[in-house]
């Protein structure tokens, strides 16, 4: 029996190694304008510079009242109050209510002193300029947003490592923060190796295939929020690969080398990495299917990943390990959403390897169905159909048809 050239380590151990390397990596930060900050990862904690709201506000259009004046008010027996003022938006209100008085306040307007509740305009009737009938009681504090209800001065409202959502932008804006300190976008380079690989614009001869991984990986990187600096196609030649790697290292945080990491006559990736000073091979081989011949190396503290050449394998390896590194160097640890779905066919782990099976999701009544996508290795149409994947651990071994399984979405989502 032919033996493996390398020792495949468990997925869990590979994840621990990549996480440690990421924690040791020093990422720079930069200041971006709030309008450019969506989906970026915050580099420092942000604390409220003032209370939010800064004054007691009404949350409805209506009348500010003291409870004692309206507690018995009803449709049949309304309370009549004197309207002493109508607040306009942005006005600093100086009035204070005494019993029998009310003030009209629009949504978001400042409340007069002694306001105990806001009666919505729908439950009132203006009688004349100076009086209004109130047809419903309110509870203490009803329809009022008090100073500091939303945020208290000094309270942390965004924590370092959080990916900025649309609503976080709203929080920053409400605090008057127009520029935000975020981690610089991690920069990737992608080197595709193979004598048979040609570029997208080249004339294709029989036997040649077009380079696709830099496009697919580049798309995943952009969706994550990274930048792709350089993409190169190089022949399976030690010197060509070494030169390409040297150039890419100078301008990138992470270099991905696609192809060239499986056991074969032309597998230079490991040797090329090791030919640099200050280099280290951390992982060569992971007990995973697909993706076994994966390499994690480092040169001068920068991550170099040898990804399998097969698109499906490159994708799984990227999604599990490179993505973890990408998020961890930005101190982001948010949970990935996965959804439950019912398997429409049984799936099995490869012997001794944690297995990732691509599935297509389909809605069936109240459930999602996960349809396993079987097909020959490297089929792009299969990958393009995939919604996500399920994980079959070595211990589990299989999931039979009808089981509810967790589907990890390919274009995923953090909470």
> Measured between alpha carbons, how far is 73 from 20 in angstroms, rounded to an integer?
66
Per-position x/- string for 3-42, each x denoting binding to its own copies as judged by CB under 8 A, each - no binding: -------------------------------xx--xx---
CA distance readout (Å), 274 to 53, 96, 266, 271, 360: 58, 78, 16, 5, 40
Binding-site size for its own copies (CB under 8 A) equals 113
Segment interacting with its own copies (CB under 8 A) among 84-92, 242-250, 280-288, 294-302:
84-92
**Where do we find the tokens 């990187």?**
221
Q: Is 91 in the site for its own copies (CB under 8 A)?
A: yes
Among 47, 85, 184, 210, binds its own copies (CB under 8 A): 210
Segment interacting with its own copies (CB under 8 A) among 12-20, 65-73, 190-198, 250-258:
190-198
Cβ atoms of residues 284 and 295 within 8 Å: yes
> Measured between alpha carbons, how far is 324 from 23 in angstroms, rounded to an integer?
11
Cβ atoms of residues 239 and 247 within 8 Å: no
Among 159, 271, 340, 393, binds its own copies (CB under 8 A): 340
Question: In the range 276-305, which residues lie near its own copies by CB under 8 A?
Answer: none
If we measure between CA atoms, which residue out of 13, 87, 23 comes closest to residue 56?
Answer: 87
Q: How far is the CB of 95 from its own copies (least distance, A)?
A: 13
Q: Is the Cβ of residue 99 or residue 348 nearer to its own copies in the bound state? A: 348
Question: In the range 42-81, which residues lie near its own copies by CB under 8 A?
Answer: 52-55, 59-61, 75
Q: Is 236 in the site for its own copies (CB under 8 A)?
A: yes
Answer positive or negative: Cα dihedral of 162, 163, 164, 168.
negative
Q: Is 127 in the site for its own copies (CB under 8 A)?
A: no
Q: How far is the CB of 387 from its own copies (least distance, A)?
A: 5
Segment interacting with its own copies (CB under 8 A) among 23-31, 160-168, 248-256, 299-307:
160-168
290 prior amide bond cis, ω within 30: yes
- Strand ranges inside 3-116, DSSP E: 29-33, 46-47, 57-58, 62-65, 79-86, 101-105
Q: How far is the CB of 99 from its own copies (least distance, A)?
A: 24
Cβ atoms of residues 342 and 369 within 8 Å: yes
> Measured between alpha carbons, how far is 85 from 354 in angstroms, rounded to an integer?
71
Question: In the range 304-333, which residues lie near its own copies by CB under 8 A?
Answer: 309-311, 315
If we measure between CA atoms, which residue out of 277, 284, 272 comes closest to residue 238?
Answer: 272
Among 7, 28, 363, 395, binds its own copies (CB under 8 A): 363
Q: How far is the CB of 258 from its own copies (least distance, A)?
A: 11
Q: Is 380 in the site for its own copies (CB under 8 A)?
A: yes
Among 128, 129, 335, 395, binds its own copies (CB under 8 A): 335
**Where do we find the tokens 């309304």?**
78
Question: In the range 386-415, which residues lie near its own copies by CB under 8 A?
Answer: 386-387, 406, 409-413, 415
């Amino acid at each position: 029996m032919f033996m493996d050239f390398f020792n495949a380590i468990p997925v869990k151990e590979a994840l621990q190694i990549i996480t440690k390397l990421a924690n040791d990596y020093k990422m720079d930060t930069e200041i971006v304008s709030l309008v450019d900050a969506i989906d970026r990862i915050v580099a420092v904690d942000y604390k409220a510079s003032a209370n939010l709201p800064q004054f007691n506000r009404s949350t409805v259009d209506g009348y500010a009242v003291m409870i004692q004046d309206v507690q018995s008010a009803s449709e049949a027996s309304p309370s009549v109050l004197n309207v002493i003022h109508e607040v306009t938006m942005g006005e600093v209100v100086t009035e204070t209510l005494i019993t029998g008085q009310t003030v009209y306040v629009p949504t978001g307007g400042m409340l007069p002193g002694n306001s105990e509740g806001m009666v919505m305009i729908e439950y009132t009737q203006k009688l004349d300029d100076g009086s209004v009938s109130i047809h419903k009681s309110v509870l203490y504090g009803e329809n009022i947003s008090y100073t500091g209800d939303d945020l208290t001065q000094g309270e942390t409202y965004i924590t370092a490592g959080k990916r900025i959502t649309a609503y976080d932008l709203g929080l920053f804006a409400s605090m008057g923060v127009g520029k935000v300190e975020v981690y610089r976008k991690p920069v990737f380079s992608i080197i595709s190796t193979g004598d048979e690989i040609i570029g997208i614009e080249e004339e294709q001869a029989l036997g040649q295939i077009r380079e696709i991984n830099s496009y697919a990986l580049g798309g995943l990187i952009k969706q994550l929020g990274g930048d792709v600096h350089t993409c190169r196609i190089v022949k399976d030649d030690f010197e060509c690969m070494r030169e390409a790697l040297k150039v890419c290292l100078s301008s990138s945080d992470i270099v991905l080398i696609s192809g060239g990491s499986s056991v074969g006559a032309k597998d230079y990736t490991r040797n090329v990495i090791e030919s640099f000073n200050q280099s280290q091979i951390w992982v060569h081989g992971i007990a995973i299917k697909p993706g076994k011949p994966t390499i994690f190396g480092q040169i001068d503290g920068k991550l170099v990943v040898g990804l399998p050449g097969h698109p499906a394998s490159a994708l799984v390896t990227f999604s599990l390990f490179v993505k973890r590194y990408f998020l961890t160097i930005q101190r982001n640890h948010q949970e990935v959403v996965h959804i439950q779905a019912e398997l429409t066919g049984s799936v099995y782990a490869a012997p001794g390897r944690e297995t990732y099976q691509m599935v297509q999701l389909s809605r069936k009544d109240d459930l999602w169905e996960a349809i396993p996508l079987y097909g020959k290795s490297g089929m792009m149409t299969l990958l393009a159909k995939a919604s996500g994947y399920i994980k079959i651990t070595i211990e589990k071994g299989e999931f039979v048809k009808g089981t509810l399984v967790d589907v990890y979405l390919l274009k995923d989502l953090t909470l």
